[in-house]
Each structure stands twice: as C-alpha cells, then as structure tokens.
Structure 1
C-alpha cells in the first residue's frame, strides 16, 4: 500500500512517501491562510491517478485557531451558579509576584454563558431534575444568541449523562455542533472538564471546514485520511469528523513518535527530543517509553487529556530579532513564518535566527533545501549592522554585526536550554543520563551547544531530520483513549477485582471502536493505567494497572517529588484505557559499517565560519555521501536536504548503522 506522512509546519509542509519499502521525502512551502493548499499541492505530485492509498496527516489548524482566537462563536450551558467557572479557574497564579498580572480572556464571554436549574449528586443520583421550562428557555436563548457551537457541561454528568443528552436533543433545531462534556472527558474536576469541552466546541467549526475541504477533494477521495492526535496515535477522518481538542499537538507528537521508534532501534531508550522548526521548538523527555501527561496548557487554557508530554517555546529558525525599549536584544516569540520568511529569503522582513546562522557561515546558501530554494546572504549584513548601531546607542558600547548574530544564536540557545531544564532537571531527571535527539529544520545548528550546556553525553541526528515529524506520523498507529473517574480507596475490600470489573466495559468499548475501523483483534493492543494519589492530595500520578501498582506509585512519587510514604493510604481516582490498532510496520533499514575514513567526495569545501567572534576554518560535508562507520572531528558543517548540522571543534561525530549522526564531546584524553 502507498502510505504518505504529511506534517504541516509554519514554514514548510513536509511529505514522506512509503511505497514498496522505498522512502522518499520532499517539502513544499506552507500556505498559512489556507493550509490545505500546500497539502494538496504536495499530494498532486504523489497520488495523481492512484487509489487505495493511506494519508497520515499532522495538522496545525486546531492549534492556530486556538492561539489566534479564530474559533467558533461558542455558547456554554452549565449548572446555575457555575456560569463563571471559566473566569474563576484555579487558585494557582502563574505570575505570582507580577504587579500587573491579569487573567487571560476566556473563550466564551459572559453573555454567552448560561446556567440551568439542574443538579446531580456526586454518586450520580439526581437532586434537581431538568425541567421542560428550562429547556424552553434554552431554546429561546439559542435563537436569540445564534451561536456557531454549543458546549454543555453539567456537574457529575460523567456518572449520569441524562440531563446533558436532554439538552442536546432540545437544541437539535439549531443545527450547530453540540459538544457534551461526558463524551469529551468523563472525569471529575469541573474547571478542567469545562475547559476541555469549550475548547472542543470552539475548534469544531474551523477543524471540520478544513477536513471537509481536504477529504472531499478528488485527490483524497480515492484513499483513506487519518489525522495525528496529541497522544501519539492517529484517528481516521470519518463523516462524524474528529475531536479537534485531541489534535492540538498533532505535528510535534509525530516528531516524538518518530524519534523514539528510531532511537529505540539503535539502542537508546532514554532520550530528550529536540524539534526546532521555523516557528517554535518542542522538547519531550522519554524514559524507556513515550511519557504522557494530562496537565498540558496551551495559550493559558488547560488541556486535561492524555497527551505526549511536549513543552513548546516560541524559538525557531524564523524567530525575529529586535532591540527593545530598554536596550536589550530580544529574539522571538514572533516568527517570520513562510511569508515573508527570514530576510535571506529575499521577500523583505526582519532579521531571524536563520539569517544569523547564514551570516556566521554555518549554512550554505547554495544548498538550502538541496539547492531548491535560493538564499540571499548579501541582504543580511546591513540589517545586522542596523541592530548593532541601535544597541551601541542604547548601551554606549560598540557592537559589530558578528556580535549581534552570535547574540541571537545565544539567546535562542538559552530559551531552549530552559525548556529542556523544565522537562528534565525540574522533574527529577538527570540530563547526564539522556541522549539529545535533534531534528527539525534548524535543530542540528544548535544541538551540540545545548548538549554541552546541559552536560548531556551525546547528540543523535537521525536521517532526514527536517522530515522526522512527518516520518513519525507515518509510523503512528490508530489510537483510542477513554477514561472514567471512580474514586476508590486503596483499603477497599477486593479492590483489585473491583478495578478489573470497572476496566472491562472501557476495554470492550475501545476494542469495538477499533474493530469498526477494520482492525482484527490480533492487530489490537490495549493498555490499562490508573491515576493514583495519597488520600488528601490534590493531584495524581499515572501508573500501569498491575497487582503491584501500589509499589509502582510509591516509586514514581519518590522520583517526582523526592519523597514517598508506603504507610499512607492511596486513592484510585481515574481509570484510563488506551487501545492501538497497528498498521504494518514501517521498516528501519540497517547498514553494514564501512571505513572510518569518509569518502573523498564527502567533503565539498572548506571555509571560514565564525565561532566565538573569530573565523575558524571549517570543513563542509554532504551527508548523503557519508557512510556508516565514517568518523570525523569538528569543526564541521554537515549539509543535507531540509537541515544543516553544526559540529563544534570540541565534538566528534560518527555515522552509525542506521545512518544516524552520533556526536559526542571530545574528552581531555582525546584532545
């Protein structure tokens, strides 16, 4: 079967094509205003006059609609007295000591938040039933407000969804999406469940429009289309659509899947992924498995679904540099995107991180995208000198263009170092135990400097690093998640039997859904996990369901928080089931090792590159000509389609059996 992985980024849309065990890759410029145009342009080069193919797509439509506040006009219906739950939120304040802190504007304004007389108790019993006159009032308000989407969130509806279903039936006349909280997130915590349901409703319209334009196109109708989810799996696009909430980290999730699968094959199971694209950088820690979390926040909105634990910062190759009013050099989070793009694209715009690298000599203007896209390095110096002049006037110290370029690189390195610090050292993981896996179009230019700062033992750059997210999307399976709040005490009699009984209908539902999508039982894999906490705590840790889940919880608590107490009783809060329908495995080729000496034609030139303010003679290599077993010493620049890797003078690199570039710092004994 012809399979195509598609990853839409802010600057480029990436395509990975698998047919008859052969893989080819290419990029087309993204079209941010109409992202489907770039997707269709690339597909036209692949599937014209073909049928029976599978397209696995990572989309940024939902993410951009949320960040840019371009979702549907949404109406929230909840219990009377709880209309302002989105406004109130939680007690935690991200900017505790800020004198000018303010809460983010909720997605639903006050006049679009309605409360109805209804109350269900914590055990699912009805205290105040929903009356017909309340439904009549809702019908009148919906006609008056004319929303584009409706979110319904009632207390304890995950135990008794009768009232939410009544409201959905009463509002069918509106012919707009009605999203029910017991279907989106059947768990306790009203604020998080409300946030999830509202976001899902808010994004339903832009996502359904996008998928409709894609799936109805003649190029795609003859094949099958799936969308990557934030949990690391894909989901088929059906007539019912998909839940956009589950696609918010679609592309970055593909990168983590691709990196983990490839590095596991090469023997690395403790990795930190570092995906630097044109607009942002995504980092994720994996220890023997891809770790998930239900505490993700995006644009100040809590996303309480099980998602890969990805942390994102606004630092990419297109991040723009400027001098602020206080006389400091700033970089990002604003990005030049695909249009106008970096200054060296020749379309105008501002100085970016890409421009800084090109000025420092760390990129070859003749080999960007393999020579498919021409760069204009001559346009950079004047803009850098302008920034240097502004900084000189502000600081009364002389700055040169090279100082500004290296400053830009240093600032984004600091931002990305902080992001990795957040997901590792601040959570009890020692970066010295992990391998940094660098990918994305810009990652290889920064990876060694980050590894040096974080004392990481090695950097691995996979083949086609600029396309790894699309490759990961291609490797993803169909994944379905479900959950249920149970609130069981660890001292309850026959607890293990009770948990197995509660898990059974959840697993049966997942298996039924995957079977309906064409998967045989032997192609299914089901995982059961528990959210556990000590009695009296406010938050939980997720552990696999097994007869020793208590011991696992204590061990994980010790690692996460620095202490544990096995004598304390535990509380099982949520049950979670994940089912995977497995596609045929994408092969990872392995090659025999050859000579340590690179072929003579691998080095194409030697020229000066600025390092620490001074020009250093640096060898430039074409990666496609380097063979497994080859070794070389920095300083070096390794060029390939879609990415460039900078090897500093204190690093050495070898090509392993999977054609990964493995870069390690040179010890004193090797100097």
Structure 2
C-alpha cells in the first residue's frame, strides 16, 4: 500500500509518500479558491491504487477566519438567545480603548429561543412542544438557513431535547450540530461557541471531503488529521469539522515528538514557519494539550495540541505603518499573487528579503522546478527603497529582523511566560522557511541547539503518517473528590470507554490496538477553572502537586472533580526513520559552489551545499547555505552544524 501524507498550506500543498519502499516528496501551489484542486492534482501525480492517505486541511480554519461559512442559525432556551454575543467579560487587548470584539458568526435575527427547560439535575421541567419545532422550521426556511447549531442548558446531563430537535431538523434537510455531541460539558458559552463554529463550517467541509473522496479510487483509504494529533474518517470530520481547526500544524508536532524520541531529545520547542504563518509549541517530554483554544477570538472547548500561531511567514508583506516605521505581517501574499519573486506579487515579503540577501538561492528553489524572478525582485527593492528612503540591503535585513522579532515573541509566550527556560530546550525547526531563520532565533533566545529534520518543508505532512486514530470524550460530573468514590469514578469512565471502543472499531481499528488514557478536570472548591490531571489511584495528591508546581501553592480546601475525560488511541503502523550513509568530517562531496551572502550588512563568502549529498558525521562551519528540494537552511556565521545518523542537521549556536 502506498502511504501518503498531504498538508494544505497557504502557499503550497505538500506531499510525502512511501512507494515501492522509497520515500518521495513534492509540492504544488495551493489553490485557495478550492483547496481540493491542489490535493487532487498531487494525488493524480502520485498515482497508484489502494493508497493510505492522511490529509491535514485548512478548510475549517479559513472558513472561520475569512467569514465564509454557511448561513447558520442558533437555537437555545428562550431568554438565552444572545449568549454567543454576550460571551465573557474578558477582552483580548486590555488597554486598547478602541478594542471591539469581532461580531458573532450568527447575527441576532438568526438566533432563536425555544421555551423548554432541563434543570441542573438533568430533569425536564418544561417539555419541548411540537408546535415550537414546526414554527422554528418554517422561520429558518424563509431565511435560507443551511446549518443549525443547537445548545440547550444542561443538555450534557440530559440531551433529550437536543436530540429530538436534531432529528427533526435533519429530516428537513438542514445540517445540524448539537452541543451534547460536540462538547458534553458545562459552561454554556464555550459549549455554544464550539457548537456554532462546528455548524458554521460543516457544509463547506462536507462538500470539500466529498469532492476528494469522489475523485479518488474507492480502494483508497482516506483519513483526516484532527487538532489533537489523531486521525479520523472523512465521515467523522464532516460531522465534527471543528476538530480539524489546527489540523495541519498538529501533524508537525506529532512528527517532532517522534523524531525527538528517536534521537534522544525530549525537550523541544517546535518552530514551523510556512508561507502564511508560524506555529510554535513546547514539548516537555510529552505532547502538550489544552481545552482552552480559540479561533478568531471564538472559544473552542475541545482538546487540541497546544500550538501558538503568529502571522509571520515567508509570504508576510512588508509595509510602513501609520507612524512611518517598517513593519511585517500579518497580511500575507499567499499563493496568488505570492511574493514579488514568484512573478505576480507587487509587495515585498519575507521570502523576497531572503532572496535579495542571497540566503535563498534561485537555482535550487524546489530543486530548480520553480523559477524565481530576480530581475523583478531587484526592480521592486529599488522602488520601495526609494519610496521609503531605506537602502535596499538595510530594507531586506530590516524585514527579516522584524519577522524574527515577531516569531521570537511567539516562542516566549509558550516558554518564558509559562515558566520554562528556552536554554533547556532544542529548537526543532521545519516548514519551508524555518531553516532560513532558526539560527537567528536561537541566538536571540539563548537556545543552544537547533534540530532541522530531513525534508523540513514537508515535515507536517510526514508527521501525519505517524498519527494514530485518536478520539477524546468527556462528561461533566461535578462531584467532590474523595478516595472513597474511586469505584464510582471508574464506573463513569467505563461508560465513556464503551463508546470509545465502539467508535474506534467503526474507524477500522483492531480491538487489540486500542489504548485508553483517563483524566480528571479538578479544582479547589470556589475556583473558576480546572487542571487536567491524569487519573491514578492517588488523584487528589496528584492534583495538589500539580497545583503547587503551576501556581506555587496548595491549600487544604475541598477538591472538586468537574469533568472526567478519556483519550482513546487506536495505534497505527508507523514508518521508520531511515539511517543515512556515514561520511568524513569534511562535507566536500556536498559542496556545490561559493556565493556571497549578506550577514549584518556585509557580503561574506559562503559555502553552498547540497543536503542530499551530506553524510552522517559531516560538519559544517558557518556561514553556509544548505539547499534541498523543500527548504533552505542558513548556517549563520555564529553557528556550525553536524549531520546525525538520521540525516538531521544539528546546529550549535554561539551567543
């Protein structure tokens, strides 16, 4: 069977595949107007039958960010119609006097209240009447609604009303999401918000996945990676698309964890710089998860890999801000028109700056399969240099320094601001543009080592091939934490585990390959938020220790269990990392030529090396440029690197 990983990005769609025992990679330009076109183009190029395809998609993400989802209605209890508008009192920019929250995805005229009620014990105190259902259906039909999000109070305790309404609405042809199936937990605002996002993107995701499925052979196995790093069937992804919002970046973190384990690095800061954005995550011996993520300021109460994103990528556009200062991003040139050097764009980008300084070498961009227009680049650098009164070389280096500062700030958010010292970690770098910037970020953050895997430009696609089938389940229980309740807690876990086993069996997983991890959401009585604690026989002591570690104290107050959670994992076969041929210290066989490259305002004679010809044990002292199909790596004058047994570049950075 041919194994294929596909990752859709803002500029390129990446493919990595194992065919006839040999790994192959390539990129095609993304097709933002219909991302499936680029995916199908690449799959057609690979060919073959009975393929195993894992896909990371940005369809759900872009639909929310660009406000291009379905026309959606929101249904809740009478009197609570504006819950998704009111939200919480917290604000993103605390000191911005002009700050305005983004408007909700569903306007006021499409928010409806039904006079039914379940109380806080899960008992029905007012029935859902048939007339209210028929009246609702008539109204939303006249408003041309496509999709409906339903979130009744306390439906996580008793889902009867939601399920009745879902069945009726689906019979009438609407797409429907109900909160008890998406987030069966308390906190009605977060539960409603997550359900709304799911309904908003559901029609678009279903059409997208159906088009791909329709245009590939029936014998192909096709699955989608979720934000939690696990893979699911396209049917599940179509009904619960909110779980794919961080689909692509999750693959990279999974891959970094796998490679890190293989080479003996358990503390990693992952740095994924693509064409549109940069994604960073911190791995401290385990993959980090959170249930407090958001997209475009809309909270999502689902488990996702803890990834922080900033709008700085290779396609990020440079401009003068209102104060006349040079700035970069978050606006991106994307795939069309793309950077100036791609032949269509007219605004300078980070990629253009790297090319202008000689750090990106046009002869070897995508192994020469894509031509970069240097004459056009020089014309626009001259144009903006005169317009902004900045010398061309200073302009290019300024663009890169500003982009580096934004990415450095993102890394500080997930490390320093959470009590971690970057010096204790290795910077694991991938993405098409990551290798161009990693050494400079490591120096600024005092990170002593950078790891750049083979084929970094398609690494997220590779990581997808390492993913297991993962499903998360939760249930709000609201009970006092007491060791005498262990058996009761285990019985509740078993209820979730039965559902998990059934779902994974439907996903095609053998029962012997299913593993269950148990968790408790716990807090001191009176607190507003919880800590997720792995379940053990000493779960209360574990909570106290974790609270002490994170917040610096523990108390004698009663402890509550708010939610129980399980993570069900269906293990899949993993491709092994291949060792490369051993060589001498001198990488002379990989030397292509010498070029002059700008570093700190000076042109420095610099080696250009072919990564494909590097061997294990080779050492490269900066400055040097290492070229390969999917990416370019800059070994700065203040760093040097060696090649390990698996072909990873290990950079040692001097302060």
Scaled by the length of structure 2, the TM-score of the pair is 0.98
CA distance in 2, matches of 1:330, 1:606: 32
1:569 is displaced (CA, Å) by 2.2
CA RMSD of aligned residues (A): 1.5
Q: Is the 8 A contact 1:143 1:174 kept in 2?
A: no
Residue 519 of structure 2 corresponds to 529
Contact kept? 2:202, 2:241, Cα under 8 Å? yes
Q: 1:212: which partner in 2?
A: 210
Query: C-alpha deviations, 1:363-421, integer Å up to 9, x for none?
Result: 111100011111112222332233333333xxxxxx31111100100001010001010
Partner-residue secondary structure (3-state), 1:212: helix
Task: Check conservation: 1:529, 1:542, Cα contact below 8 A.
Answer: yes
> Who is 2:2 aligned against?
2
Q: CA deviation at 1:45?
A: 1.6
Residue in 2 that maps onto 1:396: none
Structure 2 residue aligned with 1:573? 562
Distance across 2 between alignment mates of 1:590 and 1:488: 52
Deviation at residue 173 of structure 1 after TM alignment: 4.1
Deviations 1:553-609 (A, max 9, x none): 233323333x121523221111111111122121112346432221x2311111211
- Summarize the alignment of residues 513-592 of structure 1 with structure 2, pairs less than 5 Å apart: 513-561=503-551, 563-591=552-580
Instruction: From the superposition, tell whether residues 625 and 108 of structure 1 become closer, same or farther in structure 2 (CA, over 3 Å).
Output: same
* Contact 2:424–2:447, Cα closer than 8 Å, also in 1: yes
C-alpha contact (below 8 Å) 1:481/1:577 kept by paired residues: yes
Supply the distance in 2 between the matched residues of 1:590 and 1:550 (Cα, whole angstroms).
45
- Corresponding residue for residue 416 of structure 1: 407
Partner of 1:463: 454
* 1:254, distance to aligned residue in structure 2 (A): 0.6
- What CA distance in whole angstroms lies between the structure 2 residues aligned with 1:435 and 1:549? 32
Residues 1:66 and 1:134: Cα distance change in structure 2 (over 3 Å): same
Query: Mean alpha-carbon deviation: is it higher for 230-239 or for 262-271?
Result: 230-239
For the 8 Å contact 1:21–1:587, the answer to whether it is kept is no
CA distance in 1, matches of 2:589, 2:170: 68
Q: Deviations over 1:250-282 (max 9, x none)?
A: 111011111111111110111010000001100
Using the TM superposition, give the Cα deviation of residue 664 of structure 1 relative to its aligned residue in structure 2, in angstroms.
0.8
1:664 alignment partner, SS class: strand
- What is the aligned counterpart of 1:403 among 394, 399, 411? 394
Q: 1:176 aligns with which of 174, 177, 193?
A: 174
**Secondary structure of 1:82 counterpart:** coil
Conserved? CA contact 2:608–2:624, under 8 Å: yes
Residue 545 of structure 1 deviates from its aligned partner by 0.7
State the partner residue of 1:395: none
Query: Structure 1-normalised TM-score?
Result: 0.95
1:135 aligns with 2:133: yes
C-alpha contact (below 8 Å) 1:142/1:174 kept by paired residues: no
Aligned partner (choices 323, 326, 329) of residue 323 of structure 2: 326
For these two proteins, the number of residue pairs brought into alignment is: 655
Instruction: Report what 1:362 is aligned to.
Output: 359
Task: Assess if the C-alpha contact under 8 Å between 2:268 and 2:282 holds in 1.
Answer: yes
Question: Partner residue of 1:270?
Answer: 267
Query: Which consecutive aligned stretches of 4+ in structure 1 deviate over 4 angstroms post-superposition?
Result: none
1:431 aligns with 2:422: yes
Structure 2 unaligned regions, length at least 5:
none
Distance 1:67 1:643 in 2: 27
1:452 to 443, 447, 470: 443
2:106 corresponds to 1:108: yes
Contact 1:323/1:387 (8 A) holds in 2: no
3-state secondary structure, aligned to 2:465: helix
Report the 3-state secondary structure (helix = DSSP H, G, I; strand = E; otherwise coil) of the residue aligned with 2:633: strand
1:340 Cα deviation (Å)?
Answer: 1.4
Q: Equivalent residue of 2:235, what SS?
A: coil
In structure 1, C-alpha distance between the alignment counterparts of 2:400 and 2:490, rounded to whole Å: 53
Residue 188 of structure 1 contacts residue 485 of structure 1 at CA under 8 Å; is this kept in 2? Answer: yes
Match of 2:94 in 1: 96
- Give the Cα–Cα distance (whole angstroms) in 1 for the partners of residues 420 and 404 of structure 2: 20
2:572 & 2:236 partners in 1: Cα distance? 22
Contact 1:15 1:467 in 2 (8 A): yes
Choose from 178, 184, 187 the match for 2:185: 187
Q: CA deviation at 1:3?
A: 1.0
Quote the offset at 1:20 in angstroms: 4.5
1:638 matched to 2:626? The reply is yes
Task: Give the 3-state SS of the residue equivalent to 1:580 in structure 2.
Answer: strand
Structure 1 counterpart SS, 2:362:
coil
- Residue number in structure 1 paired with 2:480: 489
Quick check: 1:57–1:473 contact (8 Å CA) kept in 2? yes
Choose 425-434 or 139-148, whichever is displaced more. Answer: 139-148
How many Å separate the matches in 2 of 1:156 and 1:450?
Answer: 47
SS state at 1:241 partner: helix
Do the aligned partners of 1:343 and 1:352 also contact (CA within 8 Å) in 2? yes
Contact 1:483 / 1:576 at 8 angstroms: preserved in 2?
yes
Question: Which of 58, 73, 78 in structure 2 is aligned with 1:75?
Answer: 73
Extract unaligned runs of 5+ from structure 1. Answer: 393-398
Residue 651, structure 1, aligned to residue 639, structure 2: yes
Deviation, 1:186, is 0.2
SS for the counterpart of 1:483 is strand
- Spell out, residue by residue over 1:51-80, the C-alpha distance to the aligned partner (whole angstroms, 9 max, x if none): 322110011111111111110100100011
* 2:598 is equivalent to residue 610 of structure 1: yes
Partner residue of 1:594 out of 566, 571, 583: 583
